Amino acid sequence: MRELAQAFLAQGKTVRAAGLMLMLIKTEPTPGNLELLADIYMQQGLFDDAKELYLQVLKSEMKPNARGAVGERN
């Protein structure tokens, strides 16, 4: 699904790309998926939404066990 969203983004179909990524992050909220959705939001001019996602990614990468999903706790 991520690859399809990237293809839509490359074609300028940001609404479709965002829709796919929103569905995907419900089950796979990985930093990479959140970052891609943030990139899509930037293209759409949704800067506040993108900022929140980028902050989530940064926070997850600062954790020592940042391999899993964002917000995942041991």
Cα separation, 30 vs 44, whole angstroms: 21
Annotated domain spans of the chain:
2-62
pLDDT tens, residue order, the chain (74 aa): 999 999 999 999 999 999 999 999 999 999 999 999 999 999 999 999 999 999 999 998 887 765 555 555 43
The pTM (predicted TM-score) of the whole model is 0.81
Query: For residue 67, what pLDDT is reported?
Result: 53
67 burial (CB, 10 Å; 0-12 / 13-18 / 19+) is: exposed
What is the reported pLDDT for 12?
95
**What's the CATH code, domain 2-62?**
1.25.40.10
